[in-house]
């Protein structure tokens, strides 16, 4: 019998809300190095807003998976608040307070570290954000903790747009221990129908990313969901329904339609007509699309991958991951 080829070992992160079911979390833990609890917040003067995340962190630790706390400038409506980020980033004393409270929270809960996820940062606050992550990493590394940062999917240093201008790839690669790239959401709730993570677009982000950040510091984002759009798409009115990959497959089966595969973007999709005569298109992930994405880790020598998110378990995806890589346990 031929000896099985030794697999590369990679880091795998998964984001979870505290509402995750224990059954789903347990199913995922074998495939994770880190689990990131989403999300902690903060006030303009640097007070940490605590997340009740023990139902994630305790089972994770028992399974040998290291829990991280995710820090975001989310407002009470759950939207990214760049004014809140601006207030913090322009107040050195507030930052010192926040870093100290992050350290205290990590130590008190027995966590492994923190993931900074500030999105839509103003361009004028870019360097201040990088410096905050750098100072947090210096302090927390001295205490034995990890600092990661989640960045928008850029393809050039001077890329225009609020999502991109506040994120400095080279600076953050130097500031943080690891960088998580959000290589998903091309297809999104309010946008036109398309693949959530088209491989040709993902590849462009990674190709640029490795010119600014050491590949062994990069975790590539992978979506664990799809979207169902009603047709025709009307800009400003249409709103896609977010669904699990299993639900997508179930809909294709229910309506008796064939799943197609777009070779350029390496993603599955299908059309169907519902009971009210409304046409739909669904884009999602399957074994083929996930295999194509995961192959980029080996091709570019990346540290690993980060799943957004793990609120649904996808058995097929787990089998693809385990068939290609060994998941590191720290």
Tell me the mean pLDDT per 10 residues along the chain, length 330: 71 98 98 98 94 97 98 84 95 98 98 97 97 98 98 96 96 98 98 98 98 98 98 97 98 98 98 98 98 98 98 98 97
**Per-residue model confidence (pLDDT) at position 78:** 75
Q: Would you tell me how many other CB atoms lie within 10 Å of the CB of residue 22?
A: 10
Cα distances from 25 to residues 20, 71, 136, 227, in angstroms, run 7, 21, 29, 22
**Per-residue model confidence (pLDDT) at position 5:** 65
Residues 302 and 315: their CA atoms lie apart, in Å, by 24
User: Which segments of 229-314 does DSSP mark as H helices, in order?
Assistant: 245-254, 287-300
Closest by CA to 208, choosing from 145, 262, 155, 131, is 155
Closest by CA to 249, choosing from 206, 281, 284, 216, is 284
CATH of domain 8-224+285-327: 3.20.20.80
Element (H, E) at 88: helix 82-89
Q: Would you tell me how many other CB atoms lie within 10 Å of the CB of residue 230?
A: 18
Backbone angles phi, psi at 81, to 5 degrees: -115, 100
Backbone angles phi, psi at 270, to 5 degrees: -160, 160
**Per-residue model confidence (pLDDT) at position 292:** 98
Distance between alpha carbon 285 and the CA centroid of its chain, in Å?
15
Q: Give the pair of three-digit tokens for residue 121.
A: 């940062």
Residues 185 and 163: their CA atoms lie apart, in Å, by 12
Q: pTM for the whole thing?
A: 0.96
Backbone angles phi, psi at 281, to 5 degrees: -130, 140
- Which member of 3, 23, 58, 119 is catalytic? 119
**Per-residue model confidence (pLDDT) at position 6:** 82
Asked if 299 is an active-site residue, the reply is no
Longest Cα pair distance anywhere in the chain, in angstroms? Answer: 64
Q: Would you tell me how many other CB atoms lie within 10 Å of the CB of residue 75?
A: 12
Look at the chain and count its residues.
330
Q: Is the dihedral of CA 87, 89, 92, 95 positive or negative?
A: positive
């Amino acid at each position: 019998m031929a000896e099985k080829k030794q697999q590369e070992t990679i880091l795998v992160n998964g984001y979870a809300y505290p509402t995750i079911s224990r059954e789903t979390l347990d199913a995922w833990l074998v495939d994770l190095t880190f689990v990131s609890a989403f999300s902690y917040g903060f006030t303009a003067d640097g007070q940490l807003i605590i997340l009740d995340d023990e139902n994630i962190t305790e089972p994770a630790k028992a399974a040998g998976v290291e829990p991280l706390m995710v820090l975001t400038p989310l407002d009470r409506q759950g939207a990214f608040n760049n004014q809140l980020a601006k207030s913090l980033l322009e107040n050195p004393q507030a930052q010192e307070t926040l870093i100290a409270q992050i350290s205290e929270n990590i130590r008190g809960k027995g966590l492994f570290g923190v993931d900074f996820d500030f999105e839509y940062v103003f361009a004028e606050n870019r360097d201040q954000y990088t410096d905050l992550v750098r100072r947090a990493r210096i302090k927390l590394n001295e205490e034995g903790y990890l600092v990661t940062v989640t960045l928008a999917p850029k393809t050039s240093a001077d890329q225009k747009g609020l999502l991109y201008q506040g994120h400095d790839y080279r600076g953050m690669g130097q500031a943080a221990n690891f960088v998580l790239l959000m290589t998903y959401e091309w297809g999104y709730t309010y946008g036109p129908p398309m693949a959530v993570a088209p491989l040709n677009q993902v590849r462009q982000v990674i190709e640029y990313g490795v010119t600014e950040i050491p590949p062994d510091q990069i975790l590539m984002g992978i979506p664990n969901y799809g979207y169902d759009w009603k047709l025709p798409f009307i800009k400003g009115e249409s709103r896609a329904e977010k669904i699990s990959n299993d639900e997508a497959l179930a809909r294709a089966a229910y309506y008796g339609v064939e799943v197609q595969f777009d070779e350029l973007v390496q993603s599955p999709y299908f059309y169907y007509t519902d009971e009210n005569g409304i046409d739909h298109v669904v884009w999602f992930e399957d074994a083929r699309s996930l295999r194509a994405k995961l192959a980029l880790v080996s091709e570019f020598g990346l540290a690993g991958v980060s799943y957004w998110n793990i609120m649904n378990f996808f058995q097929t995806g787990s089998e693809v991951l385990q068939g290609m890589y060994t998941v590191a346990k720290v």
